[in-house]
Amino acid sequence: MIKVVSVTKTYTTGTDKITPIKNFNLRVNEGETVILQGSSGSGKTTLLNMIAGLIKPTEGSVEVAGRNVSKLPEHFAAEFRRETAGMIFQQFHLIEELTAGENIALPLAPSSLSRQEISDRVNMLTEKLLIKNIIDVPAGKLSGGEMQRTAIARALVNSPSIILADEPTANLDGTLTEELLNIFRSLKSEGKTIIIATHDPVISGSDIADKIIHLNKEV
């Protein structure tokens, strides 16, 4: 379960202060799929990053699976991400010179898993996502759809219970968006908790959303 309680986030750059999230509350139950909507600059990415423990709220608390991630020291926040969260980014953010397989394995490098165990997981995921054939192709040479699947495989390689996706369809055409929806559906059926930030109506209008949250741009 994810509990966001009275969270405010203020960014300070020089003398400028921006507060995209103000006194915000959210509750996501296990296995739920939540869509975050809102115009650009409304704080969707900010919220996802706080749930992932990447940034800390200025006020309030974020609790994920019983852990107060807003208070976790850096080392434990990283461990939490490694064990619990899988992130999918808008730009995929693959490391271009590494192969698809190496990219997928990245989250497990700091773990204590053996190479064999890691490669088993990578094989299983690439098989499931139908990208086994590109495992040795440098990520920079992949097509958009392949990149996206690679990014998804990477987010899933640590068997996370929570998946955080930031505008996952922004760079995809209609067919690929449909495919992505199918992948989310199957993840949902596996009982994963999913939070998707998007302004793509295809996603927000689909059947996968249990809840749709609107973030308003503060002025």
Partner 1 sequence: MNFKLLDFALHSLVRRKGRYPFIYITFTLLIAVSLSIFTITGALKQEAQYSLNNLPDIIVQKISGGRQQYIKKQLAEDIIMLPGVISAVPRIWGFYPFEYLNTNLTIVGVDIYDPYVTETLAKITKDISPLKFNRNIFLGEKLHEIIRQIYNKDEFSFQMPDGTYKTLEIAGTFQTSSQMISTDTVITDMLSAAEILGIPAGFSTDIAVNSANSQEISTIAEKILNISPSLKVVTKDFIKASYQNMFDYKGGIFLLFFITSLFTFFMIIFDRLNGPSGGELKEIAILKALGWGTSDILKVKLYEASVIGLFSYLTAICLSLIYVYVLHAPGLKDVFMGYSYLKPSFSLPFVFDIRVVVTVFLITVPVYGSAVIIPAWRAASTSAEVIR
Ligand X SMILES: Nc1ncnc2c1ncn2[C@@H]1O[C@H](COP(=O)(O)OP(=O)(O)OP(=O)(O)O)[C@@H](O)[C@H]1O
Which positions lie near Mg ion, rule CB under 5 A? 45
List residues binding ligand X (CB under 6 A).
Answer: 11, 13, 18, 20, 38, 40-46
CA distance to 110, 157, 203, per residue, from 177 (Å): 32, 21, 8
Q: Does 45 bind partner 1 (CB under 8 A)?
A: yes
Cβ count near 218 (within 10 Å): 12
Query: Residue 159: which of 132, 201, 128 has the closest Cα?
Result: 128
82 binds, among partner 1, Mg ion, ligand X, none (CB under 5 to 8 A by kind): partner 1
Residues 54-93, interacting with partner 1 (CB under 8 A): 54-55, 74-75, 78-79, 81-83, 85, 87, 89, 93
The nearer residue to Mg ion, 126 or 177, going by C-beta atoms, is 177
Cβ of residue 55: shortest distance to ligand X, in angstroms?
8
CA 62, 67, 73, 75 torsion-angle sign: negative
Residue closer to Mg ion, measured from CB, 86 or 101: 86
Which among ligand X, Mg ion, partner 1, none contacts residue 38 (Cβ within 5 to 8 A by kind)?
ligand X
40 binds, options partner 1, Mg ion, ligand X, none, Cβ within 5 to 8 A by partner type: ligand X
Closer residue to ligand X (CB): 36 or 156: 36
Distance, in Å, from the CA atom of 107 to the CA atom of 122, rounded to the nearest integer, reads 11
Site string for partner 1, 100-139 (x = CB under 8 A): --x---xxxxx----x--x---------------------
Q: Supply 160's token pair.
A: 């996370």
Q: Distances in Å between the alpha carbon of 113 and those of 86, 97, 106, 160, 161?
A: 17, 24, 12, 15, 18
Residue 144's alpha-carbon distances to 66, 92, 141, in angstroms, are 37, 9, 10
